[in-house]
Structure 1
Amino acid sequence: MEFTDPDGMQDAILKLDEKGKNWRYSADFWKFILLLRDYMRAVGAGEFSGCVHDYLDKSIGVYRTCSQKRHSPTESETVRNNRQMCKERTFPVPTEVDPRGEIEMFAHFKTSHRDTNDPRMHYYVDTQLTHKVYIGYIGTHLTNTKTN
């Protein structure tokens, strides 16, 4: 597990703290981090193969999971095709993951499946080269057509 932009993320997390002193967000993000760790453990042990979203639909032994409603494996086509919105979701990674030194992190967890503007955690899973999860962002919902 690697946080790719801790300074930028710290600012976003502090903004969340100012928004409402809602400690539920912290607990949710910690659960998502542990869930991603368990996903990588299950993949590494050969007990699961597939993407995170499919993993969430399974109950595999002692590995953590959550409702698929709390996860988005990608962003909408509108967001993916909008240069500015796409840039907001691009975060640093080692050049061995992507030669550009950054990658689009469209997959994300939501702290609620009811509030479309709740905070998000954007991440990238590299099961091929580094076998790490890169968390690029934890914070308020990034720009999209509903947040503008």
Structure 2
Amino acid sequence: MARYRSILSLILVIVTTFLVSCSSPSVAKAPPTYTAAQVEQIQQYVPDIVALRDRLDNELITLIKRRDWIDVSNFIHGPGGEMRLKMTYVTRNLLPQDQSQAREVTRSLFDNLVKIEQAAEAADYQKATLNYREALADIDGFLQLIPKQTVLQQESEA
């Protein structure tokens, strides 16, 4: 009987060893983080986006209040188009889970800029100011998606 127990123990040890060696380890994945290159690319465009947002906040609303519709349209095509382009560049360097939301915000900004231009063509002050406010909210929402270390570095440099 002792002999059967030792053989049974040996078989159990071999089976256990085999099962443990065949299983894959469950390594916890680290949450995705930004690489130095991504942070550098984002830092390259954030000051421009913030500056364009400030221009939008100061110049565009002034043009709308003066009902200077030609300059409103020119602003939408100039700095407004440049902002959308820079936001697209930043979106490419965001984490995958933030990219889809950043694309939605950028698309929403573009839609609001188009609506501002349509309001300018129709000389519709109320529609222009409403879409102006929504465009600012889109930009602020986009800036919330940018990694905090980038935003903090920009604020400390200013």
Structures share a fold, TM > 0.5?
A: no
Under a length normalisation based on structure 2, what TM-score does the superposition of the two structures give?
A: 0.33
Q: Which has the higher strand share?
A: 1
Structure with the greater alpha carbon radius of gyration: 2
Relative contact order higher in (CA < 8 Å, ≥ 6 apart): 1
Under a length normalisation based on structure 1, what TM-score does the superposition of the two structures give?
A: 0.35
